[in-house]
Amino acid sequence: MTELNKLTLSDARDALRKGETTSVELTEACLKAIDAADALNAFVHKTPEIALERAKAADARIKAGDAPAMCGLPIGIKDLFCTKGVDSQAASGILEGFKPEYESTVSQQLQDSGAVMLGKLNMDEFAMGSSNETSVYGNAVSPWRREGDEAPLTPGGSSGGSASAVAADLCLAATGTDTGGSIRQPAAFTGITGIKPTYGRCSRWGVVAFASSLDQAGPMTKSVRDAAMMLEAMCGHDPKDSTSADLAVPNFEAMLTGDIKGKKIGIPREYRMDGMPAEIEKLWSEGAEMLRAAGAEIVDISLPHTKYALPAYYVIAPAEASSNLARYDGVRYGQRATLEGGDGITEMYEKTRAAGFGHEVQRRVMVGTYVLSAGFYDAYYNRARKVRTLIKRDFEDVFAQGIDAILTPATPSAAFGLGEMIDADPVQMYLNDVFTVTVNLAGLPGISVPAGVDAKGLPLGLQLIGRPWEEGDLLNTAYALEEAAGFVAKPGHWW
């Protein structure tokens, strides 16, 4: 058998059921890989004792014939998920030392399904960023490098640690969260699969809030089959989250037939951006050809309000963030700044928030507070909400015309170098999300599938956007694309 940490979730599951390996062996292989990969800075809190304890329990369950889908499979958890008794600080200084008394619903469900937590994964602070460079732990590093070049690259963000860890085979899969693209963009940058389900599919309870009307959890995996398997374990109704949908969860994996004959795939003309690299353009048309060859009908469509998505997102997301982050006041959670004699409660808030939040988070809080302020509420926040409705309607219109899924590039470029963008105008960084934010604004499911490499050998991803609640159908189209693209590249092992 290949090295155990290199297995996909589904291969490992099958091997466990056949008794060819044990969860303890799988877990030990991952723990060893993690310890040898500090250069990637992907795992920021390692939990080997918890992992081995859960692995032993999983082996006992498998022996007893009680093996749910994720039983015995070692995974990483993004630091945004609250994990009981284990550091959960959303990569922020303000939550240093925070060990929640509770477990997020998603990580609890994974645990109930037998998954083994290896530790917590690096990310951008409060999930704000596209390169993992806003993290208090320092940036995560991609296992990928450009051919003939040792410059360190970003694994993308905000779920950069998750992407790096899965791509480098430190774990079999990982959880991510996606508010504007944070599962799909890092997945595309590192040659793995990532799905953001329909808003309301996964409970947000116990996931540190960024922008509550946009945030969704999802799996980051080595294959579409793995994404189907893990998503099923993560989602479902949760009375503790009022926006969680009370809908049955289908067996997503059973829907992977690869048959997409007669499906209508839309190609939105507004996603053909000026200055888009030729490689991205080429990959996109090749992807459409692959789906056509598999029997789908390719249809040109229009999503006319696309160009307003990024500005609307960068009003709504900071507005919600500024409100959500008001709770970090030095009283209830994490850190409080050292105070001087004469300091009152106002100074405590100010000093704590100035010391505890990084620059990007402070920028978002300021933008959010501004767009929500009495004088500007209508001009910015309310207008952005109206634009959001128009964007959602664009999608509803094309789905009403019979479109089953929409194919777009996942990102406007391959991974960039660490440090290359951080001093640029922040808007340059925000442009990374141009193809992904529309999906969050409309609450739709979106998946990124690795589909090719650029001239320097770096992975490129394609995004498929599905109808609400039809993740099964979307995963099946992604499966057909995955089969046709046959992406097998792996990063060389340098770390």
Catalytic positions: 78, 158, 182
Residue 408's DSSP bridge partners are 463
Helices (H), 113-223: 160-167, 184-190
- Cα–Cα nearest to 432, from 210, 188, 134, 208: 188
Which residue lies nearer to ligand GLN by CB, 12 or 234? 234
CB-nearer residue toward ligand GLN: 176 or 452? 176
End-to-end CA gap in the chain = 23
Q: CA torsion 436→433→199→452, rounded to 10°?
A: 40
Helices within 64-100 (DSSP H only): none
Among 108, 182, 352, 438, binds ligand GLN (CB under 6 A): 182
Q: Which is nearer to ligand GLN, 139 or 158 (CB)?
A: 158
Cβ–Cβ under 8 Å, residues 448 and 183: yes
* 270 φ, ψ (degrees, to nearest 5): -70, -10
User: Which x/- pattern, by CB under 6 A, does the window 144-173 give for ligand GLN?
Assistant: --------------x---------------
Specify the residue, 266 or 318, whose C-beta has the smaller distance to ligand GLN: 318
Contact residue for ligand GLN among 59, 125, 133, 178 (CB under 6 A): 178
Spatial separation of the C-alpha atoms in residues 391 and 340, rounded to whole Å: 50
Number of residues forming the site for ligand GLN (CB under 6 A)? 13
Q: Angle of helix 224-234 relative to helix 105-112, nearest 10 degrees? A: 110
Residue type, 263: K
> Does position 128 bind ligand GLN by CB under 6 A?
yes
Of the candidate residues 179, 221, 223, 324, the single one contacting ligand GLN (CB under 6 A):
179
Q: Which two tokens stand for residue 383?
A: 């207008």
Question: Binding pattern to ligand GLN, positions 95-114, x when CB under 6 A?
Answer: --------------------
Of 113-121, 137-145, 160-168, 176-184, which part binds ligand GLN (CB under 6 A)?
176-184
Which of 41, 130, 193, 244: binder of ligand GLN (CB under 6 A)?
A: 130
Quick one: which of 428, 412, 431, 426 has its CA closest to 361?
A: 426
Q: Which is nearer to ligand GLN, 122 or 130 (CB)?
A: 130
And the tokens for 427? 């808007």
Identify the residue whose tokens are 């089953």: 404
Q: Name the token pair of 144.
A: 């990928």
Dist. CA 398–CA 289, nearest whole Å: 20
Piece of 16-24, 177-185, 199-207, 288-296 that binds ligand GLN (CB under 6 A)? 177-185
433 binds ligand GLN per the rule CB under 6 A: yes
Query: Which residues does 331 contact at the CB level (< 8 Å), separation at least 6?
Result: 348
Considering the complex, state which of residue 128 and residue 462 has its C-beta at the smaller distance from ligand GLN: 128
E strand segments, 66-154: 74-78, 116-121
Near ligand GLN by CB under 6 A, which window of 103-111, 125-133, 162-170, 296-304?
Answer: 125-133
> Which residue among 100, 119, 129, 446 contacts ligand GLN (CB under 6 A)?
129
- Residue nearer to ligand GLN on the CB measure, 8 or 428: 428
Give rounded-to-5 percent helix, strand, coil for the chain. Answer: 40, 15, 45
By CB under 6 A, which span of 52-60, 123-131, 333-341, 377-385 interacts with ligand GLN? Answer: 123-131
**Does 446 interact with ligand GLN (rule: CB under 6 A)?**
no
CB 3 within 8 A of CB 24: no
- Residue 158 Cβ vs ligand GLN, minimum distance, rounded to whole Å: 4
Residue 36 C-beta: closest distance to ligand GLN, Å: 29
CB environment 79-110: b (16+ within 10 A), e (fewer)? bbbbbbebbbbbbbbbbeebebeebbbbbbbb
Amino acid code (one letter) for 91: A
Helix 359-372 vs helix 345-356: crossing angle, to nearest 10: 130
- Contacts to ligand GLN from residues 47-76, by CB under 6 A: none
Binding track, positions 279-318, relative to ligand GLN; x by CB under 6 A: --------------------------------------x-
Which C-beta is closer to ligand GLN: that of 12 or that of 421?
Answer: 421
Site string for ligand GLN, 320-359 (x = CB under 6 A): ----------------------------------------
Q: Is 23 in the site for ligand GLN (CB under 6 A)?
A: no
Interacting residue ranges for ligand GLN, rule: CB under 6 A: 127-130, 158, 178-182, 210, 317, 433
